[in-house]
Amino acid sequence: MTKLLFGVHMHQPVDNLGVAIKKAIELCYAPFFKLTSKYKEFKFALHSSGWILEYIKENYPEVFTDIKNSNIEFFTGGYYEPILSSIDRTSQINQINRLTRFIEDNFNQTPKGLWLTERVWSDEIIYALNRCGVEYIIVDDEHIYRANKKNIEGFWTTESGGDRVSIFPINKELRYKIPFAKSSDSITEVKKYSTAIIFDDLEKFGLWPKTYSWVYKEGWLEEFIKKSIDMTRHFSSYFKENNSLGLIYLPESSYVEMNEWARGKWKNFLTKYSEANRIHKRALEFKELQNEPLFKAQTNDVLWHGAFGGLYLPNLRDNAYRYIIECEEFTKDGIGSSDIEILGFNQLKFKNQQLIIRFSAKGATLIEFDDREKKFNFQNTLTLREESYHRDILNYNRKESSSDIDTIHNINYTISDEVRKNLVIDEYERVSFIDLVKKDNKIIKNFSETIFDIEDNLFKTEDLTKEYIFLDNGFKFKNSLEFSGEYSYILELNLHFAHYNDLELNGIVIGESGKFIDREFIIKDSYTKREIIIKFRDDIRLNYRLFKSLSQSEKGFDNIIQGINLSFEIDFRDRLELEGEFLCQR
Report the distance separating Cα 394 and Cα 397, nearest Å: 10
Report helix angle 220-228 to 183-190, nearest 10.
30
What does the H/E/C string look like for 337-401?
Answer: EECCCCCCCCEEEEECCCEEEEEECECCEEEEEEECCCCEECCCCCCCCCCCCHHHHHCCCCCCC
What does the pLDDT average to over 139-143? Answer: 96
Phi, psi of 163 (to 5 degrees): -80, 135
Confidence of residue 401 (pLDDT cuts 50, 70, 90): low
In this chain, the answer to whether the domains covering 3-262 and 270-585 adopt an identical fold is: no
Q: What is the mean pLDDT of residues 159-176?
A: 97
Q: Helices 274-284 and 314-327, interaxial angle, to 10°?
A: 20
Confidence grade of residue 402 (pLDDT, cut at 50, 70, 90):
low
Q: Are strands 72-75 and 113-115 parallel, antiparallel or unpaired?
A: unpaired
Cβ atoms 169, 193 nearer than 8 A = no
What is the rounded average pLDDT for all residues in the chain?
A: 94
The residues that bridge with 488 in the sheet, in sequence order, are: 438, 571
CA distances from 125 to 27, 81, 91, 122, 165 (A): 34, 14, 11, 6, 10
According to DSSP, the residues that pair with 464 across neighbouring strands are 461, 481
Domain 270-585: give its CATH architecture.
Distorted Sandwich (2.70)
pLDDT at 18 over 70: yes
387: pLDDT confidence band, cut at 50, 70 and 90?
confident
Amino acid in position 70: S
Alpha carbons 91 and 287: distance in angstroms, whole number: 7
| Average pLDDT for 33-43 | 98
The average pLDDT across 235-239 equals 98
pLDDT > 90? residue 213: yes
Q: Degrees (nearest 5) of the Cα angle 301, 306, 308? A: 50
pLDDT band at 555, cuts 50/70/90?
Answer: low
The least confident of 104-108, 227-231, 246-250, 391-395 is: 391-395
For residue 185, give the H/E element and its range: helix 183-190
Q: State the pLDDT at residue 505.
A: 98
Q: Which residue has the higher pLDDT, 420 or 396?
A: 420
Q: What is the 3-state secondary structure (H, E, C) of 420-463?
A: HHCCCCCCCCCCECEEEEEECCEEEEEHHHCECEEECCEEEECC
Q: What is the mean pLDDT of residues 344-371?
A: 98
Predicted local confidence at residue 377, as pLDDT: 98
Reply yes or no: is the peptide bond before residue 179 cis, omega within 30 of 0.
yes
49's CB contacts (< 8 A; 6+ apart) are 10, 11, 12, 14, 77, 79, 80, 81
Report percent pLDDT > 90 for the chain: 88
Percentage helix, strand, coil, to 5, in the chain? 30, 35, 35
Which H or E element spans position 22? helix 18-24
Residue 148 CA from chain centroid, whole number:
31
Taking residues 217-245, report their average pLDDT: 98
Q: What is the mean pLDDT of residues 296-322?
A: 93
Q: Is the pLDDT of residue 260 over 90?
A: no
Please give the average per-residue pLDDT across 16-23, as a whole number.
94
Tell me the DSSP string of 48-65: E-HHHHHHHHHH-HHHHH
Q: Where are the domains of the chain?
A: 3-262, 270-585
Q: Which long-range contacts (CB under 8 A, 24 or more apart) does 266-271 make?
A: 266/83, 266/85, 266/86, 266/118, 266/120, 266/304, 267/85, 267/86, 269/303, 269/304, 269/305, 269/309, 269/311, 270/303
- The pLDDT of residue 308 is 74
Band of the pLDDT at 51, cuts 50, 70, 90?
very high
Residue 414: per-residue pLDDT? 65
**pLDDT for the residue numbered 15:** 92
The reported pLDDT for the residue numbered 400 is 59
366: which residues sit within 8 A by CB, 6+ positions away? 357, 358, 359, 379, 431, 432, 433, 493, 582
> pLDDT tens digits, residue range 439-460?
999 999 999 999 999 999 999 9
pLDDT at residue 514 greater than cutoff 70: yes
Q: How far apart are CA 387 and CA 551, in angstroms?
A: 8
Pairing between β-strand 513-525 and β-strand 334-338 as defined by DSSP bridges: unpaired
Report CA Rg, the chain.
26
Q: How confident is the model at residue 398 (pLDDT cuts 50, 70, 90)?
A: low
CB contact at 8 A, 319 and 15? yes
Mean per-residue pLDDT, 297-305? 95
pLDDT of residue 480 exceeding 70: yes
What is the mean predicted confidence (pLDDT) over 345-354?
98
In tens, the pLDDT along 77-124 reads 999 999 999 999 999 999 999 999 999 999 999 999 999 999 999 999
H-only helix segments in 268-329: 268-272, 274-284, 292-297, 314-327
For residue 333, report the phi and psi dihedrals to the nearest 5 degrees.
Answer: -75, 160
* Mean pLDDT of all residues in 201-219: 96
Quick one: 423 exposed, middle or buried, by C-beta within 10 A (0-12, 13-18, 19+)? Answer: middle
CA of residue 494 relative to chain centroid, distance: 21
% pLDDT > 70, the chain: 95
How confident is the model at residue 550, as a pLDDT? 80
CA dihedral 139, 145, 150, 152 (to 10 degrees): 10
Per-residue pLDDT for 408 more than 80? no
Q: Given this model, what pLDDT does residue 554 score?
A: 62
CATH fit for domain 3-262, picks 3.30.360.10, 3.40.1180.10, 3.20.110.20, 3.20.20.220:
3.20.110.20
Are the CB atoms for 513 and 545 separated by under 8 Å? yes
Banded model confidence at residue 307, pLDDT cuts 50, 70, 90: confident
Torsion of CA 91, 55, 327, 368, to 10 degrees: 110
* Rounded alpha-carbon distances, angstroms, from residue 318 to 383, 385, 500: 15, 20, 15
Q: Where are the alpha helices (DSSP H) in 467-515?
A: none
